[in-house]
Amino acid sequence: MDAHGRHTILRGVNLGGDCKVPWPDGGTDRPSDFSDHRTVSFVGRPFPLEEADEHLARIARWGFNTLRLLTTWEAVEHAGPGQHDEDYLDYFTAIVERAQAHGLFVFVDFHQDVWSRMSGGDGAPGWVFEALGLDFTKFDAADAAHVMQHRYNYTSEERRQEDRYPMMSWASNYRLAANGIAWTAFFAGEILTPDWTVEGRNVQRFLQDHYLEAMAAVARRVAHLDNVIGFDTFNEPGLGWVGLPMSAPRLKATPEDPLPVWPGAAWTPLDGLRAARGRTVEVANLGWGDERGVLRLINRQIANTAGVSIWRDDGPDPFERAGAWRLDPDGDLVLDEDFFRLKDGQPIDHENQCMGPFFARVAETVRAVRPDWLLFAELCPYLVGTGRFFPDTMPERSVNASHWYDIDILRKKRFDPDQHDSPLKAKYFNQMAYIAWLGSKFGTDGAPTLIGEFGIPYDLNHGEAFEAWAGGERGEGVWTAHAQALALMYDALDALKLSSTQWNYTASNRNDLRVGDGWNQEDLSIFSADQVDGGTPNDPDAGARALLGFCRPYAPLAQGTITTMRYADDRFDLELEADLAIDAPTEIYAPEVRFPAGVSVKVSQAAARWTHDRAAQKVLVWAAETGSLSIAVEPA
Residue type, 260: P
Query: According to the model, what pLDDT value does residue 235 have?
Result: 98
Return the closest-CA partner of residue 457 out of 519, 499, 400: 519
Residue 402 to residue 64: CA distance in whole angstroms = 19
Query: According to the model, what pLDDT value does residue 606 have?
Result: 96
Query: According to the model, what pLDDT value does residue 286 have?
Result: 96
Summarised one tens digit per residue, pLDDT across range 427-476 is: 999 999 999 999 999 988 999 999 999 999 999 988 999 999 989 998 89
CB 242 within 8 A of CB 204: no
Query: According to the model, what pLDDT value does residue 379 have?
Result: 97
In the chain the first and final C-alpha atoms are separated, in Å, by 31
Cβ-based neighbour number of residue 538 at 10 Å: 6
Residue 117 to residue 19: CA distance in whole angstroms = 12
Return the closest-CA partner of residue 375 out of 353, 401, 352, 393: 401
Which segments of 39-94 are extended strands (E)? 66-72
CATH architecture of the domain covering 9-121+180-239+351-550: Alpha-Beta Barrel (3.20)
3-state secondary structure of 34: coil
CB 421 within 8 A of CB 484: yes
Residue 361 to residue 351: CA distance in whole angstroms = 14
With residues binned 3-state (H G I as helix, E B as strand, rest as coil), the percentages for the chain, rounded to 5, are 30, 20, 50
For helices 269-276 and 177-192, the axis angle rounded to 10 degrees is 110
Confidence bin at 187 (pLDDT 50/70/90): very high
Return the closest-CA partner of residue 14 out of 547, 406, 502, 516: 502
Reply yes or no on whether the pLDDT at 62 is more than 90. yes
Q: Where are the domains of the chain?
A: 9-121+180-239+351-550, 264-347, 554-635
Reply yes or no on whether the pLDDT at 597 is more than 90. yes
Query: According to the model, what pLDDT value does residue 598 have?
Result: 97
Residue 434 to residue 384: CA distance in whole angstroms = 9
Summarised one tens digit per residue, pLDDT across range 28-60 is: 999 999 999 999 999 999 999 999 999 999 999
CB 318 within 8 A of CB 196: yes
The pLDDT of 496-523, averaged and rounded, is 97
The pLDDT of 614-630, averaged and rounded, is 98
Lowest mean pLDDT among 102-116, 124-138, 439-453, 528-542: 528-542
Reply yes or no on whether the pLDDT at 517 is more than 70. yes
Return the closest-CA partner of residue 459 out of 363, 393, 528, 386: 528
Residue 512 CA: distances (Å) to CA of 13, 22, 171, 416, 468: 22, 20, 21, 21, 13
Confidence bin at 258 (pLDDT 50/70/90): confident
**Among the residues of 223-335, which ranges form H helices?**
269-276, 318-321
Average pLDDT value over all residues in the chain: 96
- For the chain, what is the radius of gyration of the CA atoms? 25
Query: According to the model, what pLDDT value does residue 319 have?
Result: 98
Instruction: Please tell me whether the overall predicted TM-score, pTM, comes out greater than 0.95 for this model.
Output: yes
Q: How many CA atoms does the CB half-sphere of 330 hold within 13 Å?
A: 0
CB 431 within 8 A of CB 480: no
The pLDDT of 492-521, averaged and rounded, is 97
Please name the helix (run of DSSP H) or strand (run of DSSP E) that holds residue 302, with its range, or none: strand 295-303
The pLDDT of 609-633, averaged and rounded, is 98
Summarised one tens digit per residue, pLDDT across range 157-174 is: 999 999 999 989 999 999
Confidence bin at 259 (pLDDT 50/70/90): confident
Residue 357 CA: distances (Å) to CA of 193, 233, 612: 17, 12, 49
CB 337 within 8 A of CB 193: no
**618: CB partners within 8 A, 6+ apart:** 587, 588, 589, 590, 612
CB 451 within 8 A of CB 435: yes
Which CATH number does 554-635 carry? 2.60.40.1180
Reply yes or no on whether the pLDDT at 535 is more than 70. no
Reply yes or no on whether the pLDDT at 534 is more than 70. no
Which segments of 441-553 are extended strands (E)? 450-451, 499-505
Residue type, 16: G
Reply yes or no on whether the pLDDT at 521 is more than 90. yes
